[in-house]
Amino acid sequence: MTKNHDLIHWVNKWAELMTPDKIYWCDGSEEENQHLLNGMVSSGMAVRLNDKLRPNSYYFQSDPSDVARVESRTFICSESREDAGPTNNWHDPEQMKTTLREHYKGCMKGRTMYVIPFCMGPLHSDISHLGVQLTDSPYVVVNMRITTRMGKEVLALIDHSDIFVPCVHSVGYPLEPGQPDVKWPCAPIERKYIAHFPETREIWSFGSGYGGNALLGKKCFALRIASTLALDEGWMAEHMLILGITNPQGEKKYFVAAFPSACGKTNLAMLTPTLPGWKVETIGDDIAWLEFRHDGRLYAVNPENGFFGVAPCTSMDTNPNAMLSVSKNALFTNVGLTPDGDVWWEGIGHDMPPGTMDWKGRFHEPTHCEPIAHLNSRFTAPASQCPSIDPDWENPMGVPISAILFGGRRATTVPLILEARNWDHGVFMGSTIGSEVTAAAIGLKPGVRRDPFAMLPFCGYNMGDYFAHWIEMGKCTRPELLPKIFTVNWFRKKEGQFLWPGYCENSRILAYIFDRCNNERKTENTPLGVIPATGEINTEGLDITTEQLEQLFRIDPDEWKDEVDSIDEHYNKFSHLPAELHNELEMLKINLGL
């Protein structure tokens, strides 16, 4: 329990509104965690997996209406609509709070309200921030224990600092006396709300029990609220992995990379290189907080404590480190459940055992055409269990960044790798990234959408101002100390077939980027930027033809005319677009002869 009177008052105020049967202050202990998991097994919400196959691991199935982030029900409630910008769903903050207070009234009846003190970032790091989440979901508690630093130590820090981000969450499913609970309580989609209040640094979530809608330390805090903190305080909160890479001579560098959800961030963060003598280590797979430090270099910290990764297509072939990370003490949601008490998903690397149950609780029949695991099914595992975890993954100072990568799923148009000419050109490339829509979000039409910096669903303020913040950050140090910026595209196709093998073979691209950070390797200038000269990508041992390599770097004028038109349309959304990006677009048109 805390001695912080403001925190106690805040908790009691919400308890009076939501009327839980009891209030429980989480201490983060293993005993507490086991008690909650045992309770969910008893209630039918969880299944304990076979301890001989996957020790201390648990299986969950969500309601079919509650399987992913709900962007249409996610709101930025800033005082001015202009501050939210054209890419966010804006709502007046007082009106939203009035609406949600009505929803919250009595919403925890028959349930326990859990008080979760948590820290985003390593304890005692000067870039870390503290939060407290209220929730009526034990599923949220056990996931937050893995994905954040949570418990007594954090509560002591809150007592000392008296500063925290208040986060309120309810599944929105109260219980009357004697009313049986359901396996996965949640509200209908039209009653789901994920609301952010940037001026007051608050998060209010209602109606969903899943993922980024309910684990409020993740996308809600570490990106949407943190991005507004970063704007005010002069740093950056980004949807980026962080990895360390060491060459055969023992030299080490750190890269960050921004890809939209389900575009391979976790696989790249935990990559096992196929090139002899190279080594990749993991700092984080999803979010990076970055700031320039006293030596003029950009440093990155992973604010998370665990992985909440996409399960399908994860295997010992595609990502052995992820598979080993979830070998014990893991949680699985919406994958398949095998008869012997293990998990299965499409692309796991072995045939599905007969009698496997799908994510909807149905036993598989040969006539079923739906996938066994939902496309956005997840695993949750402690980062400390990852075999490739970097020794500095919890360094409170962070790690120095040499390169920034942007990418997405593009079947055509975009080369395998492209290097920016300078920082502003790199910001232009990041601001125009496009990707095919994935299963990580509900309510989006298939096709390619612009997802600048992979932050479209996660920027907590006007994205034009966000672009300007990136431009200004490039002025924080000398040009020679700025990281190099690249775009990558593992997903280019011809006649429906991928041209690049991807997965662990992406180490060949990382090795090229490593050498470019040392100003090594021959390059060629193109209208788009800098590409490797012929033969500079190590393809030894790959089954890839000269024609395929040429296609991977082909710049089709007709495709790029359409691309430029699309970028023009994209930029026209922003009244706050920096002049530097207008200039970069005009230069691209000139270079392409348009």
Annotated active-site positions, please? Answer: 263
- What CA–CA distance (Å, rounded) separates 242 from 298? 12
Q: Which residues have a Cβ under 8 Å from the Cβ of 481 and sit 6 or more positions away?
A: 296, 297
C-alpha dihedral (50, 51, 55, 60), degrees to nearest 10: 30
Contact yes or no for 81/90 (Cβ under 8 A): yes
Of 245, 259, 182, 210, give the one whose Cα is nearest residue 434: 259
Helices (H), 344-401: none
Tokens 């430029």 correspond to what residue? Answer: 564
* Reduced 3-state DSSP string for 38-80: HHHHHHCCEEECCCCCCCCCEEECCCCCCCCECHHHEEECCCC
User: How, if at all, do strands 129-135 and 112-120 pair?
Assistant: antiparallel
* Sign of the torsion formed by the C-alpha atoms of 540, 541, 546 and 551: negative
- What CA–CA distance (Å, rounded) separates 419 from 574? 25
- What CA–CA distance (Å, rounded) separates 144 from 223? 16
Contact yes or no for 450/563 (Cβ under 8 A): no
Helices (H), 234-300: 265-269
Of 476, 464, 473, 484, give the one whose Cα is nearest residue 582: 464
Helix (H) or strand (E) holding 96, with range, is helix 93-104
**Which SS3 state, helix, strand or coil, does residue 82 take?**
helix
Residue 65: CB atoms within 10 A of its CB come to 16
Angle at which helix 557-571 crosses helix 579-592, to 10 degrees, equals 160
Angle at which helix 463-473 crosses helix 226-233, to 10 degrees, equals 50
- What CA–CA distance (Å, rounded) separates 372 from 419? 40
What's the burial of 479, exposed, middle or buried (CB within 10 Å: 0-12/13-18/19+)?
exposed
What's the burial of 150, exposed, middle or buried (CB within 10 Å: 0-12/13-18/19+)?
buried
Residue 24: CB atoms within 10 A of its CB come to 15
Q: How far is CA 250 from CA 277, 323, 395, in A?
A: 9, 27, 20
- What CA–CA distance (Å, rounded) separates 73 from 324? 35
